[in-house]
Amino acid sequence: MAGSTVPITSEHLLVEDADTPADEIVYSLRTSPSNGDVIIGGIGVTSFTQQMINEGSVMFAHRPGDLAAFLFITTTGWAKT
């Protein structure tokens, strides 16, 4: 994988919530990726949705070197009353 760009798929990251559509489940990076970048359309991003993952839009560009890692949190849409 080092030196390549690969999709981040729902096999890698998957959050499901019965009350929240995939486009409202947001991943936000808390640390910058080591040895790479999370990209959409060739541009580095710091957040993306489960829907973007499901559609195959989110990629990881791994720079040559050791393992790559990043931390993230997920949030879902606001509660509806």
DSSP conformation class of 71: -
pTM, full prediction: 0.85
Type of residue numbered 19: D
Condensed to tens digits (0 to 9), the pLDDT of residues 18-61 reads 989 999 999 999 998 888 999 999 999 999 999 999 999 999 99
The C-alpha R_g of the chain, in whole angstroms, comes to: 13
DSSP conformation class of 2: T
- The closest of 46, 50, 71, 59 to 1, measured between CA atoms, is 59
